[in-house]
Amino acid sequence: MNQNRPAKPTGSLLERAAEIYDFADALRSKATPVVPTPSAVAAKAVDSVFRPTADERPVQSVDQSALRQAGFVLPDGPISGLSEEFRIIKRQLLLTAAGGRQGEKILHAERILICSAHPGEGKTFCAVNLALSIAAEKDVEVLLVDADFAKPSILSTLGIAGSPGLMDALADPAMDVADCVIRTDLPGLFVLPAGRQTNADTEYLASSRTGAVLNALTAPYPNRILIFDSPPILAASPAAALAGHVGQTVLVVRADETTETALRDAVGLLAACDNIQLLLNGVKFSPGGRRFGSYYGQGGA
């Protein structure tokens, strides 16, 4: 991290991350640099037995008060600095998912990996907040995938009961991943649990079945965005394998904690994804900086 250069309080968390880490060279080979203006089926197995679809299974309740207490941004919550930052980040990701400003379609840009170098840097925090923010969109739904197979935390964060998930579907060719998708009582928010960890998670993720399984989650749903909550890239190998299946990666950097060396190593390991953006998490807002909450009349940002 460049300690000599003070972080400017202007610009979104994506822009400020790019400034602080000066990553132009490392990301130059990647397809899409940070945009300066951020406003900027499963083919159902034909069974003779009845198998309910996600729409027909019971809806699971999200523990919204626990989320609120933990600092997450609920769709109907007050406008705050954090909610506006996630809106800006979401807009940019959705723009890329829809084909970008120039209409240059990135393959599987609707699949977004939320990654970071180390544990505790805010991957799950950002993945859940982004999913909640995207769920509030009128034309888009979001499937939040827990891909941290060793330490899954999406279900406990949302207060949802455990059930089979992605790794189960990858390990068992007879299983239909669509049957693992949980519909929640938050409109537009679906969840895919991690499933049971195996000792060959990375190999399963690198297998050709993964492409088919992920296609079953996206192909029939043109308005669906997938958000993957990933394991730390420098601590576990599945993240690098996942990078090969997504069109966008958000690399979370914890302000004042993530070193530039760790970040460069992380970018190197994520080479399978051409479109990496840095997201600065845990940044303190300076008094003179942008404060969306106060702009909207909500007091502190």
Ligand X SMILES: Nc1ncnc2c1ncn2[C@@H]1O[C@H](COP(=O)(O)OP(=O)(O)O)[C@@H](O)[C@H]1O
Contact with ligand X (CB under 6 A) among 36, 120, 211, 268: 120
230 part of the interface to ligand X, by CB under 6 A: no
Q: Is 87 within 8 Å of 133 (Cβ atoms)? A: yes
71 part of the interface to ligand X, by CB under 6 A: yes
Residues with Cβ within 8 Å of 80's Cβ and at least 6 positions away in sequence, in order, are 73, 292, 293, 298, 300, 301
Residues 84 to 123: which contact Mg ion by CB under 5 A? 123
Say if residue 2 is exposed, middle or buried (CB neighbours under 10 Å; 0-12, 13-18, 19+).
Answer: exposed
Site string for Mg ion, 116-135 (x = CB under 5 A): -------xx-----------
CA distance 90 to 95: 8
Contact with ligand X (CB under 6 A) among 122, 152, 193, 238: 122
DSSP 197: -
In the bound state with ligand X, the residue whose beta carbon lies nearer, of 148 and 179, is: 148
Q: Is 90 within 8 Å of 205 (Cβ atoms)? A: no
CB of 123 to ligand X, least distance (A): 3
CA distance 287 to 225: 35
Q: Is 206 within 8 Å of 241 (Cβ atoms)? A: yes
Q: Which two tokens stand for residue 252?
A: 């979370």
258 part of the interface to ligand X, by CB under 6 A: no
Sign of CA dihedral 140, 224, 232, 153: positive
224 part of the interface to ligand X, by CB under 6 A: no
Among Mg ion, ligand X, none, residue 238 binds (CB under 5-8 Å by kind): none
Among ligand X, Mg ion, none, residue 90 binds (CB under 5-8 Å by kind): none
CB atoms within 10 A of CB 258: 26
Among Mg ion, ligand X, none, residue 122 binds (CB under 5-8 Å by kind): ligand X
291 part of the interface to Mg ion, by CB under 5 A: no
In the bound state with Mg ion, the residue whose beta carbon lies nearer, of 12 and 124, is: 124
Distances (CA, A) of 190 to 31, 50, 123, 134: 29, 22, 18, 11
Among Mg ion, ligand X, none, residue 125 binds (CB under 5-8 Å by kind): ligand X
In the bound state with ligand X, the residue whose beta carbon lies nearer, of 72 and 221, is: 72
Among ligand X, Mg ion, none, residue 282 binds (CB under 5-8 Å by kind): ligand X
CB of 126 to ligand X, least distance (A): 7
123 part of the interface to ligand X, by CB under 6 A: yes
In the bound state with ligand X, the residue whose beta carbon lies nearer, of 135 and 233, is: 233
Which residues make up the interface to Mg ion (CB under 5 A)? Answer: 123-124
